[in-house]
Amino acid sequence: MKPDLRTVQRSMQRYSKEGARNADDELVVEEPLEMRVGGVAIAVTMRTPGHDRELTAGFLHSEGVVTTTSDLAGIGHCWDPETPEIRNVIDVTLASDEAVDLEALRRNVYASSSCGLCGSVTLDTIHRRCAVLAPGGRVTPEVLTALPDRLRAAQTVFARTGGLHAAALFTFEGELEVVREDIGRHNAVDKVIGYHLLRGRLPLSDRLLLVSGRASFEIVQKAVMAGLPIVAAVSAASSLAVDLAELQRQTLIGFLRERSFNVYTDFDRVAE
C-alpha cells in the first residue's frame, strides 16, 4: 500500500484525569511547495502534500495567470532521484509565448499555511478584472444546513488528525462533487478550483463552495475568479469578504450550522 504522505506518527505523552501515558499521535504533514512557471520560481506556499497540480493550477487561476486549461502546456513535479525532496517543486509550462511579468507576480505574492494574500489586494482591482456574477441559481435552506455534515463525513484526514481545513464544491441540490483538505484553507480552495480548471470546467456558475473555516477576503476573491455564485462558511465572514461579495453580486453565507445560517449578500439565491 502506498504510504499516506499527508500524515505522520509522532510519540507524545497524553495527560488526562487518569494521569499521563505514552502514546502515538497522527499529525498532519506540513511541507513547502515551490511553484515555478517556465523554471522561474514565483511562490512558495506551506501545504499538505497531495493534489499539488490542482493546487498550483488553482493558485495561478486566482492570480490571473491562467484562465482555462488550454493556457497550460504542462504542469508537473520536478523529479530528481538524487534529491527526493524535489517533490516539493512543481513547474508549469504555459501554452502561450506571450510574456508574463513573473517578477511582478513574485513581488505581489505572499503565501503561507496560515494566510494567503493574492497579488490583487484591492476591491477595485478585483472588480475591474472580474465580471459581476450573473443572477440565477438557487439553493434551499434545507439543502444548505445539511452540507456541513456532508463535508465533515468526507474529511478523511481531519477525522484522524483534527488538523486540516477543507473546501468542497456542491451542486445546488446538495450533491458533493469534490472535496480537498489542506493545512491552509486557501490551499484547499485552490485545489478544488484547480480540479475543475484541469478538466476544462470553469467557470463554476452552477456550483457552490463550502469552506470549513471562516470566509475571508482571499477565499471570496478566489471564488469570484472561478465564477462561483454562492460561498458558504461554517464560521464567520470578514467585513472585506462581505464587501467584495456584495460588489460582485455573490451570495455569501456565514455561520452555516445544523439549524441556522447568516446570508450577508444577494439574498435571492437562497429560496424561501
Residue 115 designated active-site: yes
Average pLDDT over residues 126-137: 83
Return all residues near 83 (Cβ < 8 A) that are at least 6 apart.
none
Domain boundaries, the chain: 31-124, 141-269
8 A C-beta contact, residue 59 and residue 81: no
8 A C-beta contact, residue 42 and residue 61: no
Catalytic residue selected from 78, 115, 118, 130: 115
| CATH fit for domain 141-269, picks 3.40.50.300, 3.40.140.10, 3.30.450.20, 3.30.497.10 | 3.40.140.10
pLDDT at 45 over 90: no
8 A C-beta contact, residue 185 and residue 219: yes
| The three cell numbers locating residue 127 | 472588480
53 versus 50: the higher-pLDDT residue is 53
pLDDT at 112 over 50: no
8 A C-beta contact, residue 233 and residue 215: yes
**Residue 220 binned pLDDT confidence (cut-offs 50, 70, 90):** very high
117 versus 202: the higher-pLDDT residue is 202
Average pLDDT over residues 148-172: 89
Strand 89-94 to strand 110-111: parallel, antiparallel, or no bridges (unpaired)?
unpaired
DSSP track, 55-100: HHHHHHHHTTS-SSGGGEEEEEE---TT-GGGGGEEEEEES--S--
Fold identical between 31-124 and 141-269? no
d(CA 65, CA 40): 14
Among 42, 67, 64, 50, which Cα is nearest to 221's? 64
Average pLDDT over residues 177-206: 95
| The three cell numbers locating residue 63 | 492570480
Q: What is the pLDDT of residue 111?
A: 40
d(CA 108, CA 118): 7
31-124, which class in CATH?
A: alpha beta
**Residue 85 binned pLDDT confidence (cut-offs 50, 70, 90):** low
Least confident of 8-12, 102-106, 180-184, 212-216: 102-106
